[in-house]
Structure 1
Amino acid sequence: MNKSISIIIIGYNTAADLKNLLCSINRLKPVQYNVEVIYIDDGSTDESVKVFEASNLNFSKLCYKFDKNRGRIFARNKGIQLASGTWFLFLSSNIEVEPELLNEYLNATKISNALAFMGKIKYTSPDSSFQWYLNHRRRGINQLKNLEFCNYRFLLFSNCLMHHSIFKKIEFNTCFVDYGGEELEFAHRFNQLYPNKIRACSAAIATRINHPGLLQHSERLEVFGKTNFRLLNQRLKVKIIRYKFLLSSAFCYNIILNIVKMLNIIYFFKIKSYYMIRLIMLGSLLKGYFTYQKTQNHQTEDPQ
């Protein structure tokens, strides 16, 4: 395992994006490491596997395809199982990496004794106001200097480097089959085992192409509120929503919901406000959370 790195890519029906990612990987500056590229296809029905197999990569490559869509957790766990590197670089298929990305990560490993490094992600989106929010200096590692301590909540597996030894002790929780929360839950357990072992690597840059706009993202957050959010422990739920009382007060939720309805009207006019967008997203998550709760209450009251 001496001086080797495994690039683990997961994807589902993202053939065009995958092709762009692979082209950007071929533009990576050379490093003094053995590099393998592993693509885990999560049961795609498009040409994703053919795109990967036809790619003329500068590195060794390996492809594995599930016979059906199983979710990001199973795909990542499979990639980890197949990887042979000292370091695992996790990438999503819908990003493009900058040429210096590998060099920046590997330089960071020589300077720091951290076990995980979070790279910078730039975003493009058809929703210009939401793109502005996604790239805001207050979000994630945008507020951190290179190699500064990184809170586990900022760890995203679209662009991060982790030491192989981590996965001998923990893996992704396969209970999280729907959208969201699985990365936070894993990062929390990782931080408990290895406190303060995550660093920002803001010079290792990737771009997330065509991130959904606020409306579509809010719909996903509503699904998250109904599903994976409920699987998180209380501490992590509060990390996400900031205020614990919001989880126990339907009255407060109704107030927020009415505010969010007004904010959505304001947002339609492309007014850029960091906190307005955050409140809209919070409202969507809580809507899903309380909708599920009401459904369960009705089923309890009327078992027929």
Structure 2
Amino acid sequence: MLNCEDIKVSVVVPVYNIKKYLPKNIESLIKQNINMEIIYVDDGSEDKSAEIIKKYMDSDPRIKLLQKENGGAGSARNFGLKNASGKYVLFIDGDDYIDENSLAALLKAAEAENLDIVQGSFRFVDDKGNNIIRKYKNGRENTGDCLDGSQWLVRKNIYFVMWLYLFRRDYLIDNNLWFCEDIYHEDLELIPRALYFAKRIKAIDLCFYNYVQRQGSFMHSRNIKKCTDLIKISDRFKVFANDNIDKQRHKDVYDFFENNSSYTYVYSLNSAIDQCVPLSELLEDKEVKNKIIFEISKSDKMRHKF
């Protein structure tokens, strides 16, 4: 058993009813050749996910299982972070997996340049492990110089997924960078804040994360709350900018949050359309309706015409 001070990376994995995908996830993590801990947070699963994890615990002491009542992915990740001991932390989803020994490369980059955040890149795969070829940017284009958070937000492509980044754990805690627990899309809400406060961020040329596309996952299911929570996130972008950024001195960074607030309003409407959610449900609140109309009038990102 490793002492806490020997643990280089804590991997935090929220788990909710994903027994089919857990073995591949676990096996990808136990193949990492660094001093680490693997923290699975069972968020009230009703299948046999916890039993699968316990079987692997018998053969690998790096695996830990925490169990709690269902509270959502943000709650599970926060619980894992509070119980983590590693110098760095990586959040991954329980139905995805990473390449063998990839954590060693992320860790090496982080320690070599004293980074707060290291970004890698990803690929889409199906649930059989086959690559899905898409015309998309995957993070590799961000490789280059080490930047601070303000520079990163205005110069780089931003990926609103926590699993693409290795974070220094103390950096997250010292800056009160916790997940919101009352919303969907918690990555979208946290990533800009997490990048903003960083002193040193760098992307390395390492495609390490396998993002599994599966039917029935959260991202492919219909839910009106996904749409309304986007509106909450949009409002939080504006509040964060007003509370933390001098608009006159750092107009480009302020505009980043302002623009993303506008785009997120439009995204909520697009999300409703894509899910075939009746717009009357999304727009029944008059204040919400007026906000969306106002933001659409400012935005050049709307995909749908009326």
Deviation at 1:18, TM superposition (A): 1.2
Structure 2 residue ranges without an equivalent (≥5):
239-256, 290-306
Per-residue CA deviations over 1:171-207 (Å, capped at 9, x if unaligned) read 3243533x21x21322222233225x33223415021
Q: Which residue of 1 aligns with 2:40?
A: 39
Cα 1:142/1:192, change in 2 over 3 Å: closer
2:158 matched to 1:153?
yes
Identity across the alignment (%): 16
Deviation at 1:77, TM superposition (A): 0.5
Higher relative contact order (CA 8 A, sep 6+): 1
Q: State the alpha-carbon separation in 2 of the partners of residues 141 and 10 from structure 1.
A: 23
Q: State the alpha-carbon separation in 2 of the partners of residues 148 and 75 from structure 1.
A: 31
Superposition map of 1:254-293 within 5 A? 284=274, 291-293=280-282
Contact 1:14-1:94 at 8 Å conserved across structures? yes
Given candidates 174, 178, 198, the residue that maps to 2:180 is 174
Q: Which residue of 2 aligns with 1:210?
A: 213
Aligned length: 253
Deviation at 1:72, TM superposition (A): 0.7
Deviation at 1:74, TM superposition (A): 0.6
Q: Which residue of 2 aligns with 1:6?
A: 10
Structure 1 residue ranges without an equivalent (≥5):
248-252, 254-279
Letter in 2 for 1:85: G
Cα 1:225/1:291, change in 2 over 3 Å: farther
| TM-score, length basis structure 2 | 0.68
Q: Which residue of 2 aligns with 1:238?
A: 259
Contact 2:120-2:206 at 8 Å conserved across structures? yes
Q: Which residue of 1 aligns with 2:285?
A: 296
Q: State the alpha-carbon separation in 2 of the partners of residues 60 and 216 from structure 1.
A: 28
Counterpart secondary structure, 1:124? strand
RMSD: 3.7
2:22 matched to 1:18?
yes
Contact 2:144-2:203 at 8 Å conserved across structures? yes
Q: Which residue of 1 aligns with 2:231?
A: 229
Q: State the alpha-carbon separation in 1 of the partners of residues 274 and 228 from structure 2.
A: 10
Q: State the alpha-carbon separation in 2 of the partners of residues 207 and 187 from structure 1.
A: 20
Counterpart secondary structure, 1:203? strand
Contact 1:222-1:289 at 8 Å conserved across structures? no
